[in-house]
């Protein structure tokens, strides 16, 4: 759910640390809107437009995975290929995002945030328009590139624009608010779109459209085209209302490989190394839910005799329920991690996450109360694991190499997505649809044991030093 906002949250933790160390930015202040203080050249409409983009951001990027089942069904692919294809599509998207995200950031410095941010939604609109037109797997993989490009632009632009618009003293508040808007948008928008499948199935098309081949059999296509129309509208709104012009010149950044070299060097610190491992596991947690959860349920509901549109509708509903449980979970874990050592908090969060993922393998009936309990536990586990990992990296990253260490965390997070997408897709088809969740559940247990081992070693060292 929050895969594309993790860096925002990390920044928030870094800001808290800087305040504690007495760092003063000496920035001029602009308008004050509620608890948020803007920069001098930022107007109210600029901020409200940013909120608008944040509300649609995660939902727009998550849509493709939630509704993969409808596309796979429309292509009449064998169900024993669904997992591998979903994993391959996720992997392709991640490769593209990692490859071009730096380019979009640099481009926004030259041509302006408004153009790149609106372009991100425009590319998503193109992707969602052509995605359901695929006739085979190769075309589906190729069309997914357009979706990935849109996701990459949106990934980098939301935190960048947020940082540009707000005074440093209230940046954390803005990041928190945009994160909430992302979560609410995901829940409300996917809840709305889940009804589109059955709506288009029941809708009788006019004769002239039927003659052109556009009848109720194209319900999956119409659903994606509706999403395409939505993101096109968002693109126009952003272009018309965000602040014009390019940002002030920024300092030249080190190359990606130079940054990684520093990040690897900092891994000599056991807590940094643990944080990198947490990045692999926590991003894997997010990837398994976004890639395989709705797909698994779509297959299950269809096997019970539901039509494909109805199966998609029910699968999307339970996906939304998971993310709805994650929203209060985020508030709970943020309160919790401030009361404990970050490694202790990580260990507890991983234990809860492991229970959430492993529990799915024991569910016999996805329509039972057992499933609803699993949904709640999964939502809490997903968000607990990710925010605890983010909290750890935010505190262990040294000031002199904070950017590099956070970059390293993101790199290992991408590794986690690749592993889960690749391995998860294989075992989804060969072992069973809940196998990927069991895989990440075991990974969470391994991370829990590593955290406990680190705590034991640190305590032993302290005892030895005291003696």
> Quick check: 210 pLDDT over 70?
no
d(CA 114, CA 37): 20
pLDDT digits (tens, 9 = 90+) for 368-406: 889 999 999 999 888 888 888 887 887 777 767 777 787
The pLDDT of residue 286 is: 87
The CATH number of domain 253-459, selected from 1.10.10.60, 4.10.780.10, 1.20.1250.20, 3.40.1160.10: 1.20.1250.20
For position 87, what pLDDT does the model report? 94
Q: Are 23 and 402 in contact (CB under 8 A)?
A: no
Q: What percent of the chain has pLDDT over 70?
A: 87
Indicate the pLDDT class of residue 23, thresholds 50, 70 and 90: very low
Query: Rounded CA gap, 419 and 430, in Å?
Result: 16
**What's the mean pLDDT in 315-324?**
92
Rounded Cα distance, 323 and 154, in Å: 20
In the predicted model, what is the mean pLDDT of residues 38-64?
90
pLDDT at residue 319, as a whole number: 94
Distance CA 158, CA 402 (A): 20
Select, from the ranges 186-195, 201-210, 239-248, the one with the highest average predicted confidence (pLDDT).
186-195
Q: How much is the mean pLDDT over the chain? A: 84
Q: What's the confidence (pLDDT) of residue 392?
A: 82
Find out whether 60 and 408 touch, Cβ atoms under 8 Å: no
Q: Which regions of the chain carry the CATH code 1.20.1250.20?
A: 1-13+33-250, 253-459
Mean pLDDT, to the nearest integer, of 38-57? Answer: 90
Residue-wise pLDDT tens digits, 83-129: 999 999 999 999 999 888 888 888 888 888 899 999 999 999 999 99
Residue 17 pLDDT class (50, 70, 90 cuts): very low
Name every residue whose Cβ is closer than 8 Å to that of residue 125 and which is 6 or more positions away in sequence. 150, 228, 229, 231, 232, 235
Specify the higher pLDDT residue, 379 or 172: 379
Looking at the DSSP assignment, which residues form a beta bridge with residue 36?
33
- Distance between CA atoms of residues 60 and 154, nearest Å: 10
Bridge partner list, 361? none
CA–CA gap between residue 240 and residue 237 (Å, rounded): 5
Q: Which CATH architecture has domain 1-13+33-250?
A: Up-down Bundle (1.20)
- What are the tens digits of pLDDT across the range 88-98? 999 999 999 98
Strands (E), 17-87: 32-33, 36-37
pLDDT digits 0-9 by tens, 421-439: 999 999 999 999 999 999 9
């Amino acid at each position: 759910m929050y895969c594309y906002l993790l860096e925002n949250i990390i920044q928030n933790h870094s800001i808290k640390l800087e305040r504690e160390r007495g760092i003063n930015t000496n920035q001029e202040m602009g308008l004050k809107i509620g608890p948020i203080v803007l920069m001098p050249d930022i107007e109210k409409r600029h901020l409200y437009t940013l909120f608008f983009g944040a509300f649609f951001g995660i939902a727009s990027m998550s849509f493709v995975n939630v509704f993969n089942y409808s596309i796979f069904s429309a292509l009449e692919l064998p169900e024993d290929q669904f997992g591998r294809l979903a994993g391959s599509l996720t992997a392709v998207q991640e490769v593209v995002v990692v490859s071009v995200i730096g380019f979009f950031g640099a481009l926004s410095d030259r041509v302006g945030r408004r153009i790149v941010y609106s372009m991100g939604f425009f590319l998503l609109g193109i992707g969602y328009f052509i995605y359901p037109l695929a006739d085979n797997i190769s075309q589906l993989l190729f069309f997914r590139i357009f979706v990935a490009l849109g996701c990459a632009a949106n990934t980098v632009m939301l935190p960048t624009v947020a940082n540009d618009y707000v005074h440093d003293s209230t940046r954390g508040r803005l990041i928190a608010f945009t994160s909430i808007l992302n979560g609410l948008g995901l829940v409300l928008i996917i809840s709305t779109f889940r009804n589109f499948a059955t709506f288009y199935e029941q809708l009788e098309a006019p004769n002239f459209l039927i003659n052109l081949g556009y009848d109720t059999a194209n319900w999956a296509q119409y659903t994606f085209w509706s999403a395409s129309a939505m993101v096109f509208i968002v693109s126009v709104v952003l272009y018309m209302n965000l602040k014009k012009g390019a940002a002030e010149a920024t300092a030249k950044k080190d190359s990606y490989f130079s940054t990684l070299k520093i990040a690897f060097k900092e891994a000599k610190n056991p807590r940094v190394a643990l944080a990198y491992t947490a990045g692999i596991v926590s991003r894997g947690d997010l990837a398994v839910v976004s890639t395989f959860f709705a797909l698994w349920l779509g297959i299950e509901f269809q096997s019970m005799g539901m039509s494909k549109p109805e199966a998609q509708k029910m699968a999307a509903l339970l996906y939304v329920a998971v993310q709805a449980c994650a929203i209060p979970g985020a508030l709970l874990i943020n309160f919790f991690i401030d009361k404990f050592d970050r490694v202790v908090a990580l260990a507890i969060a991983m234990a809860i996450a492991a229970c959430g993922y492993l529990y799915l393998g024991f569910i016999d009936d996805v329509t039972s109360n057992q499933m609803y309990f699993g949904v709640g536990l999964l939502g809490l586990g997903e968000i607990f694991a990710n925010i605890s990992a983010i909290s750890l990296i935010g505190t262990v990253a040294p000031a002199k190499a904070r950017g590099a260490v956070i970059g390293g965390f993101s790199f290992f997070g991408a590794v986690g997505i690749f592993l889960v997408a690749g391995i998860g897709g294989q075992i989804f088809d060969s072992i069973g649809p809940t196998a990927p969740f069991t895989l990440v559940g075991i990974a969470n247990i391994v991370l829990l044991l590593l955290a406990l081992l680190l705590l034991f070693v640190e305590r032993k060292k302290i005892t030895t030093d005291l003696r």
